[in-house]
Amino acid sequence: MITNFFEGIGAYALLMTKVFRRPDRWKLFYRALVKEIQLLGLDSIGIVVILSVFMGGVVTIQTAFQLSDDPLIPTYYIAMATRESITLEFSPTVVSLILAGKVGSNVASSLGTMRVSEQIDALEVMGVNSASFLILPKIVAQLIFNPILIIMSLFLGLWGGAMAGDLLGLVPFEESIMGYRLEFIPFENAFYALIKTVVFAFIIGSVSAYSGYTVKGGAVEVGVASTNAVVRSCLAIILANYLLTDLILTS
Amino acid sequence: MIQAKGIIKSFGENHVLKGVDVDFYPGKTNLIIGRSGSGKTVFLKTILGLFEPDDGSIHYGDEVLGEMSKQRRKTLRQEIGMVFQGGALFDSMSVAENIRFPLEMFSSMTEHEKDARVKFVMDRVRLEGADELFPSEISGGMQKRVSIARAISMNPNYLFCDEPNSGLDPETAIVIDQLIQEITHEFGMTTIVNTHDMNSVLEIGDHVVFMKEGYKVWEGTNDQVLGSTNADVEDYVFKSKLFKQVRTALRK
């Protein structure tokens, strides 16, 4: 098992060296990039909106539940704690995990299907660097669009938290805004979230592409690859999250 | 001309090719036949360079495939057209886009020239009016024709076909076979067809190579197949009831 793990890491690294090559035709690369941004990015907006609004609401309710017993704590502190939770962890990490499920399975199954139906062989026979041609636009699309999704998620999460707090009478809307602005340091909060997002975007794109591109067999194996893509991406995100948190916040 | 000299290829303990020597001639449809598991597909992929032989060499004209630089190998691939067993058409592209793809990727043609070339090959394989259709919207026979059109769009010197008429009805299979032979003769390509269909052998086999258990055991023309005295060829060719009756008729 350990041998397989290290072999997998090696194969992944070798694949990435094939992926990050200059595209044969920039025109085709840009065309593929636009398609991928549509497929992997724009089509994910719906789920990010719903998830973020309700996640913000839940975090506010949970925080209020923990802090409301103490009359000495001002209510806007609930909003401040909500902001910290959403910007530092919930938006970048939870949304990335959800995207790993949605985008990762899509990438792995589309590449896996191309592999088993010999479409990738057809590209290779033509002399096309299939890894770069197929995978690079997916990774670049993720790197461009995931930060946009996460910024959107940050705003929507905070708005959802403020709305939930106001509707349930836990924190008035104005106090939520006050709490959100209290001691807000852009670098420590938003920038930290964006750094994590870029790393997670690379993980989602590359790990799921590796799972799909290396499929051998038929339809069953494509299904297995799709599941593996999600599991591997999620595990890699969680591990990277720990390392980045330690690296950025403690240094 | 393509020459395979002493090709040996194994996968672990599975020795698939055990020293194959064959010459494939330009302007002819060269057929590789044999039972499933005889090593036909591995041989074809080794000639294509998708597998590296453990021993032996592949010659494209005067050049040895294994000794070519990366750049030369890349340009050689643009001289090769390949028709895959399942078509291997790009699902996300229309028929015309599939055929146009190699031109977009490698040619320095103007848009107008590309349009003209796509129209020419589509007409040549009788695909008029199918431009906007997607692979999932066309029949198996049409998919094979699109695959052939894509393979010849760059005007290749070499055409490879892996079981091009598998899964097709006999009438469509003959149409595909004849199309392959016509374009081979017309453009003077070196065509190698991997098949186990005896109808194809008799229809278009300008040069037939019979493989068994990783060896080449016989070669000749389609006219010589039915009269071959090689026991393995006889056993393969006259397995079906129809061909047994043909043999009986021939002997009378």
Domain membership of residue B33 (yes or no) is yes
- A34 has a chain B CB within 8 A of its CB: no
Please write down the HEC assignment for all residues of A56-95. HHHHHHHHHHHHCCCCCCCCHHHHHHHHHHHHHHHHHHHH
- Residue A1 CA to residue B128 CA, distance in Å, equals 54
Taking the C-alpha atoms of residue A186 and residue B106, their distance in angstroms, rounded to an integer, is 48
Integer angstrom CA distances of residue A148 from A32, A90, A193, A236, B197: 19, 15, 12, 21, 56
pLDDT at position A251, please? 67
CB contact under 8 A, B50 and A125: yes
Angle at B68 between CA B65 and CA B73, to 5 degrees: 80
CATH number for B210? 3.40.50.300
Give the pLDDT confidence score for residue A186 in this predicted structure.
Answer: 73
Residues A147 and A194 sit within 8 Å (Cβ to Cβ): yes
Residue B219: strand pairing partners? B209
> Chain-wide mean pLDDT for chain A?
91
Whole-number pLDDT of residue A56? 94
Regarding whether B244 and B161 lie in a shared domain, the answer is: yes
Average pLDDT, integer, range A65-82: 84
Q: What is the pLDDT of residues A158-201, one digit of tens each?
A: 999 999 999 998 889 998 999 888 887 777 777 888 899 999 99
| Minimal Cβ distance to A125: which of B75, B77, B101 | B77
Q: How many domains does chain B have?
A: 2
**3-state class of B184 per DSSP?**
helix
Q: Which chain B residues are Cβ-neighbours of A27 within 8 angstroms?
A: 104
Q: How far apart are CA B247 and CA B252, in angstroms?
A: 9
- Which residues in chain A touch residue B78, judged by CB atoms under 8 angstroms apart? 126-127
Q: Which residue has the higher pLDDT, B166 or A54?
A: A54
Residue B128 has what pLDDT? 83
Q: Which of B127, B155, B183 is the last residue of a domain?
A: B155
Residue B68 and residue B177 in one domain = yes
What pTM was estimated for this model as a whole?
0.85
Whether residues A126 and B105 touch (CB distance < 8 A) is answered with yes
| Structural domain span for residue B232 | 2-79+157-250
Residues B147 and B162 in one domain: no
B21 touches chain A (CB under 8 A): no
Beta strands B55-60 and B2-11: pairing type? antiparallel
- Asked which of B128, B155, B182 is the last residue of a domain, the reply is B155
B220 in the same domain as B126 = no
Same domain, B61 and B166: yes
CB–CB of B105 and A128 under 8 A? yes
Cα–Cα distance, A40 to A146 (Å, whole number) = 9
* pLDDT on residue B124: 84
Which pLDDT does position B93 carry in this prediction?
92
Mean pLDDT per 10-residue run, chain B (252 residues)?
93 91 92 89 90 93 90 87 89 93 89 92 85 91 89 90 84 85 89 88 89 91 84 81 76 69
pLDDT exceeds 90 at position A50: yes
| pLDDT for the residue numbered B35 | 87
Where residue A120 falls among pLDDT bands split at 50, 70, 90?
Answer: very high
Asked whether the beta carbons of residue A28 and residue B105 sit closer than 8 angstroms, the reply is yes
Do B31 and B149 fall within a single domain? no
